[in-house]
A and B are shown apart, each in its own frame.
Chain A
Amino acid sequence: MNRQRTGLMMILFVGALALAWLTHGTGVVRNDLSRNIYIPDELTMPLQVQVAYNENLIFFHFRWPARNAYVYHDMLRYEDGTWVRHGASRAGPDPDNTYEDRVTMLVDDGRVPDFGRFGGYITIGANARFFTNQADKAEVAGHPHLGGTLGVNEVQKHLPATRSDMADWRTVVSEETLQQQRDAGYFLDLWHWRAGRSNPVGMSDDQWIGEHRHGDSGKAPFSTNWDSKLKQPKYMFDPARTGQYALRWEDVESNRFDFEDIYYLSEDFAVPFDPSHSWVNGDVIPRRLLRIGDGSRGDIRVYGKGRWEQGYWNVTLVRALVTGNPDDKAFNEQGLYNLGFAVHRDATGSRWHYVSLPCTLGLGRDADITAEPFTGESPPWTDTWKEIKLFYPGQVNWPYLTSRAHAGSVNIAEGVPVHSRHTEVQLALYGVEREFNSEIIRQWIWTLVSGIVLMMALGIGLSLRLGRYNGGVR
């Protein structure tokens, strides 16, 4: 009897440990769009990159896997007399397939301290857009610089020194200091290819990061096709040139398109909107009107055609090595540059992207990616891809990373690069846990206590049984 009870206790103890092993890590991490939480199914993805340059131009060739291509973006659907918007920024994937794929690249020439060591993490300040604790839009709109001068209502990517206190987005330094920072090259160039808003017209958007994410000077490859007073589009498809007035919702909703057909609205085949046309439910007009960008914003073009085939996007971007524009980073022979890549796929926008750790680009010198020099017009691509692992970064910002709450803040202060302490997989897992930090700490404390209680209970039970059976506890 005593032997059986002892054996039963051991079975229960081992069973409890097995239960703990089999169920650990469950019950907390779940999507909660009300808190801007959506965890992608895959936390990492590959990106392949090649770079080549000739006397005047530099070419970046990107290739990445995507189950589907998403090229529709920001659409207006006619429904019972009103135009309903689909594809505005939201948490997680767009349910209507109306959010475009993107590939982006941050570029620095060494004049942004820490970017080469910590990459895009330095651009994520406090209360950023679509974080659970994102800043109140009305408060941002009321900020004298962000709302007043820039006319924005969200805290987006920005560089640490553009704030006197990086932990407080409100503390933007003076306009004079911001200008001095720009003059000193303290900004990141942002190459921003968009599958819906730039690719169809062979363009990439061109932006830069300073105290906010800005568009370069000049004309963007898209404009907003919406008359807010009349609550209708400004332009529609030219039926004479396209044979149609609008797209159809059933095509958009099912993500049905043909790269060689009409799936976007461009100045080349748009005419002023005709409200007297007999619009029917399900007619769709893109809320973005595409055009050829110009000025500094139109510097980057798609070389060839950006296409998705057999599960992969293939995109090549080309730009002058030296644009001469103050909002671009120039590339020079013997130059060494820091790059950070990101990909948006699966109809997600804003912070639901996969990012890279920083890597170096060398022109005529060794680096993580060594650009291949060539003469002539077309880059002679060889099979020399640089494989880069991208990861979902979660809600991790620079104020946290540099605070006492991050054990590695001392390493950051000493300039130890992120990749010497963390892998991409590790950062992805940490990023997810950060989104549930308080809940996980609570469960962890209870787990710790329950395990100790279990062991103490086993000790009490065994001492009573074995002590009794074997002559009594002394």
Chain B
Amino acid sequence: MTGVHHMLVHFPLALWALALVMILLRTLTTGELARLSERALVPVLALSLLGALAAVISGFLVWPWEAALSSPLTRNHILMALWSTSLWAVITALIWLIGSALWDGIGRWVMLVLGLIASCLFAITGTLGGHLAGVTSFFSIILDSLGWTVYETFYLPSMSLVLLFLIGGIMVVLGVTGRKT
């Protein structure tokens, strides 16, 4: 299953990289290429999510579950894979639900920031996958210099967890309140 996982991860990798370029074009330009990018984003992102789903499922089959849970590198790989997939899923849903209106005003900048963050998370996922395959990369040295050694599990203290849930709740409230029907 290791080989299959290695093959499958290239689909979301390539498609999300393409999606980021399209978001950049749509955010920063207004020409034909921007309009083409906007129209193609939903199918590209939908295919990315399908590829990611296949990659995640095949990834869970590489090692026994107890081995994956016991390895700090694997724990980090799983966490970053699910976080990046979740954020790209949010981006996909927003573009699909709101449509062209999303790119007016502040929305386009929101998409750009989310796309960059999601790409960053997915780059970390790939770096960790490289470590697991025995191929380390320079990117992990950057992460180390920024305060995270990838051989240590990325986990949060309880107080931070509480704050994260609280912030999530506030964001929903901000969305719901003051909404005109």
Main secondary structure of the interface of A (DSSP, over half): helix
Q: Choose from B86, B101, B180 the contact partner of A456 (Cβ within 8 Å).
A: B86
Does B110 count as interface, using CB distance less than 8 angstroms? yes
In the bound complex, what is the Cα–Cα distance between A147 and B82 (angstroms)?
51
Q: Choose from A5, A25, A447 the contact partner of B178 (Cβ within 8 Å).
A: A5
User: Which of A254-262, A379-387, A423-431 lies at the interface with chain B?
Assistant: A423-431
Determine how close the nearest CB of chain B comes to the CB of A281; give it in whole angstroms.
46
Name A468's closest neighbour in chain B (CB-CB): B179
**B164, A407: Cβ atoms under 8 Å?**
no
Does B43 count as interface, using CB distance less than 8 angstroms? no
Per the 8 Å Cβ criterion, residues 152-181 of B in contact with A are 152-161, 163-165, 167-176, 178-180
Does A375 count as interface, using CB distance less than 8 angstroms? no
7 closest Cβ pairs, A-B complex = A27-B157, A470-B101, A461-B175, A457-B168, A464-B175, A459-B90, A443-B155
For B46, list chain A residues within 8 Å (CB).
Answer: none
For A462, list chain B residues within 8 Å (CB).
Answer: 90, 94, 110, 175
Does B74 count as interface, using CB distance less than 8 angstroms? yes
In the bound complex, what is the Cα–Cα distance between A446 and B156 (angstroms)?
8
**A441, B69: Cβ atoms under 8 Å?**
yes
Q: A24-B148, A474-B98 are in contact. Are A450 and B156 (CB under 8 A)?
A: yes
In the bound complex, what is the Cα–Cα distance between A33 and B151 (angstroms)?
25
For A426, list chain B residues within 8 Å (CB).
Answer: 151
**B94, A459: Cβ atoms under 8 Å?**
yes
**B158, A14: Cβ atoms under 8 Å?**
no
For B164, list chain A residues within 8 Å (CB).
Answer: 16, 19-20, 450-451, 453-454
User: Which of B13-21, B25-33, B59-67 lies at the interface with chain A?
Assistant: B59-67
In the bound complex, what is the Cα–Cα distance between A459 and B167 (angstroms)?
13
Name A15's closest neighbour in chain B (CB-CB): B167
For A437, list chain B residues within 8 Å (CB).
Answer: 70
For B180, list chain A residues within 8 Å (CB).
Answer: 468
Per the 8 Å Cβ criterion, residues 426-474 of A in contact with B are 426, 429-430, 433, 437, 440-441, 443-444, 446-448, 450-471, 473-474
Does B56 count as interface, using CB distance less than 8 angstroms? no
Does B97 count as interface, using CB distance less than 8 angstroms? yes
**A12, B171: Cβ atoms under 8 Å?**
yes
**A24, B168: Cβ atoms under 8 Å?**
no
Does A57 count as interface, using CB distance less than 8 angstroms? no
Q: Choose from B70, B97, B165 the contact partner of A467 (Cβ within 8 Å).
A: B97
Determine how close the nearest CB of chain A comes to the CB of B180; give it in whole angstroms.
6
- Chain B interface residue count, CB cutoff 8 Å, equals 65
**A448, B78: Cβ atoms under 8 Å?**
yes
In the bound complex, what is the Cα–Cα distance between A388 and B69 (angstroms)?
31
For A23, list chain B residues within 8 Å (CB).
Answer: 156-157, 159-160
For B149, list chain A residues within 8 Å (CB).
Answer: 429
**B110, A10: Cβ atoms under 8 Å?**
yes
In the bound complex, what is the Cα–Cα distance between A13 and B110 (angstroms)?
11
In the bound complex, what is the Cα–Cα distance between A337 and B179 (angstroms)?
76
Does B11 count as interface, using CB distance less than 8 angstroms? no
Q: A444-B75, A462-B94, A470-B104 are in contact. Are A27 and B168 (CB under 8 A)?
A: no
Q: Identify 23 residue pairs between A and B in the complex whose beta-carbon atoms are under 8 Å apart, listed by A's number.
A: A5-B175, A9-B174, A10-B113, A14-B113, A16-B168, A19-B164, A21-B148, A23-B160, A405-B66, A407-B63, A407-B68, A407-B70, A426-B151, A429-B152, A440-B153, A443-B157, A448-B82, A454-B167, A454-B168, A455-B87, A461-B173, A466-B107, A470-B107
For A471, list chain B residues within 8 Å (CB).
Answer: 101
In the bound complex, what is the Cα–Cα distance between A466 and B56 (angstroms)?
30
**A24, B71: Cβ atoms under 8 Å?**
no
**A6, B160: Cβ atoms under 8 Å?**
no
In the bound complex, what is the Cα–Cα distance between A263 and B78 (angstroms)?
56
Determine how close the nearest CB of chain A comes to the CB of B77; give it in whole angstroms.
11
Q: A470-B101, A474-B97 are in contact. Are A20 and B156 (CB under 8 A)?
A: yes
Name B162's closest neighbour in chain A (CB-CB): A450
Determine how close the nearest CB of chain A comes to the CB of B58; give it in whole angstroms.
16
**B161, A446: Cβ atoms under 8 Å?**
yes
Name B69's closest neighbour in chain A (CB-CB): A441
Does A278 count as interface, using CB distance less than 8 angstroms? no
Name B147's closest neighbour in chain A (CB-CB): A21
**A452, B148: Cβ atoms under 8 Å?**
no
For A3, list chain B residues within 8 Å (CB).
Answer: 105-106
Determine how close the nearest CB of chain A comes to the CB of B143; give it in whole angstroms.
10
Determine how close the nearest CB of chain B comes to the CB of A172; give it in whole angstroms.
28
In the bound complex, what is the Cα–Cα distance between A474 and B180 (angstroms)?
15
Determine how close the nearest CB of chain A comes to the CB of B105; give it in whole angstroms.
7
Name A416's closest neighbour in chain B (CB-CB): B134
**A457, B78: Cβ atoms under 8 Å?**
no
Does B50 count as interface, using CB distance less than 8 angstroms? no
Determine how close the nearest CB of chain B comes to the CB of A437; give it in whole angstroms.
7
Name B103's closest neighbour in chain A (CB-CB): A470
For A457, list chain B residues within 8 Å (CB).
Answer: 167-169, 171-172
Does B40 count as interface, using CB distance less than 8 angstroms? no
Determine how close the nearest CB of chain A comes to the CB of B160; give it in whole angstroms.
5
In the bound complex, what is the Cα–Cα distance between A24 and B147 (angstroms)?
9
For A456, list chain B residues within 8 Å (CB).
Answer: 86, 90, 168
